[in-house]
Structure 1
């Protein structure tokens, strides 16, 4: 089966965007559907609360993709009282929401130091109900992007179900593996752990996004180049490893590309930069681009997000 959403590389960038827009109008599928919990995020820098905002992959990736013109859907779960909150953050921007009620809404507290925004500690104050196969049964998209935030968010049978449903279609599965590598301890602190079901889960994944620490944890390798090959051998077609201000590394099976980060005019809020990066990368994959070309676009998009608080919503130059 073909897994590529690839307009001819001979098309100009403008022509690719026009083709994407036309296929979005006439296709019954979404360009990208993101499955993940919309969260309430408390941002602390040097111990002081700077913002309390909506967060999670479902927010940061979806809004960045929508700002680029993609036809986006989000499958999410929150407490019933927070349903209007989801509407305000997503639906008013033209994003279709498949919402299910949960007993609680996930609440994250992200703690940074001003002198090193690449690193953070996290606490989880509340956890939403996990997704079920029934929650995502009707979703069809060219790319389904899975954004678990902690262990248990997205059970592995959801990944296999999406793959089985797309067996005779062109849909791809993208995964940000961070949630499978996070356990919440008794003190509500997020702790890194290996993903015990990775060999089963990764065989269904086309595009894998991890940061450097996550790549090493999953693969057992210290060097990103070696880690990417190990993860590719588990069945992943494209491995994207991010290093924050250190750039990224993209491995597509036959080659690896180092992509530099783009310096921001001002570092304001790093929360969601990884989600914004993968949004830019997936957008480029919809246009048929990959490797360094897709990575450079994604890096510029992530830098634009870093320069302001909250998700990137408008105003990015796609050239």
Structure 2
């Protein structure tokens, strides 16, 4: 059985203080390194226009590309080198949806669960969400992308704003676990018909709601280098434990530790 991780691979420009660098990104990219170590039976499915981006994945035999006419591009700017919790983002807001017809011939026969990583509202149309729910396996979903909208155009890209999405209750209904940060949780409000709600808050830790609320402390890191992809790393580490039957609390503590290890290095875990 296989855990299927789906979402865009991106071309990112990371700016920390006066330092600039380009690198491969996207939640599915960051998560593939975690799953490669802690849940080896996985398949990463990415949508992009530049297939060369997948060359940076840890195991090319576990990556399939849905070829589209362009690629997500993000600028992640951290203006304060001593506080990488603060991030300014721009994106080309690529319109490259993943459709059921894209997935039908590349999904494995037996599936443990899905991990869905939308980066904007275009990535997973409602018809695709309903198609994946039809497999009747656990679905772990990042919510952030569904809230993103383009705001102010800056050259060829847009600043991003977050706003409620009217289709969200239908999208989330029946999902096993959803992942968001504190700012996103205030926009979404109360969520029903979801087993677990995981809310992260950077260096302030996280909390997990399954009826009760479990607080997870952040693991102290004395050398913060790059926080891009930290939330994605946390999500993958959490899923790798939960899908194997670990408790919510132990999965949260494990995810916090792995996320802390990731931010010590530039790039992926």
Scaled to the shorter chain, the TM-score interval is: over 0.9
Match of 1:111 among 58, 69, 77: 77
Which residue in 2 is equivalent to 1:202? 172
User: In structure 2, do the counterparts of structure 1 residues 111 and 143 end up closer, same or farther at CA, with 3 Å as the change threshold?
Assistant: same
The reply to whether residue 135 of structure 1 matches residue 105 of structure 2 is no
Residue pairs, 1:36-185, within 5 angstroms: 36-49=7-20, 51-79=21-49, 82-86=50-54, 88-90=55-57, 92-93=58-59, 96-112=62-78, 113-125=80-92, 127=94, 129-138=96-105, 139-140=107-108, 141-166=111-136, 171-185=137-151
* Offset at residue 186 of structure 1 (A): 4.4
Which residue in 2 is equivalent to 1:278? 235
Q: Which TM-score applies when normalising by structure 2?
A: 0.92
User: In structure 2, do the counterparts of structure 1 residues 135 and 290 end up closer, same or farther at CA, with 3 Å as the change threshold?
Assistant: farther
Q: Which has the higher contact order (CA 8 A, sep 6+)?
A: 1
- In the TM superposition, structure 1's runs of 4+ consecutive aligned residues that sit over 6 Å from their partners are none
The reply to whether residue 237 of structure 1 matches residue 170 of structure 2 is no
Q: What CA distance in whole angstroms lies between the structure 1 residues aligned with 2:53 and 2:162?
A: 30
Larger Rg: 1
* Offset at residue 259 of structure 1 (A): 0.4
Would you tell me which structure has more helix in proportion to its own residues? 1
Q: Is the 8 A contact 2:95 2:122 kept in 1?
A: no
Q: Which TM-score applies when normalising by structure 1?
A: 0.78
Q: What CA distance in whole angstroms lies between the structure 1 residues aligned with 2:61 and 2:160?
A: 30
* Offset at residue 126 of structure 1 (A): 5.8
Aligned length: 261
CA RMSD of aligned residues (A): 1.5
* Offset at residue 96 of structure 1 (A): 1.6
Gap runs ≥5 in structure 1? 1-28, 220-229, 313-319
Deviation readout 1:186-243 (Å, 9 max, x if unpaired): 4111111112111111113111001001111100xxxxxxxxxx21xx2110110001
Q: What CA distance in whole angstroms lies between the structure 2 residues aligned with 1:237 and 1:69?
A: 22
Deviation readout 1:243-282 (Å, 9 max, x if unpaired): 11000001123x2210000011300000000000011100
Match of 1:301 among 251, 258, 261: 258
* Offset at residue 69 of structure 1 (A): 4.1
Q: What CA distance in whole angstroms lies between the structure 1 residues aligned with 2:204 and 2:186?
A: 16
Q: What CA distance in whole angstroms lies between the structure 1 residues aligned with 2:6 and 2:140?
A: 10
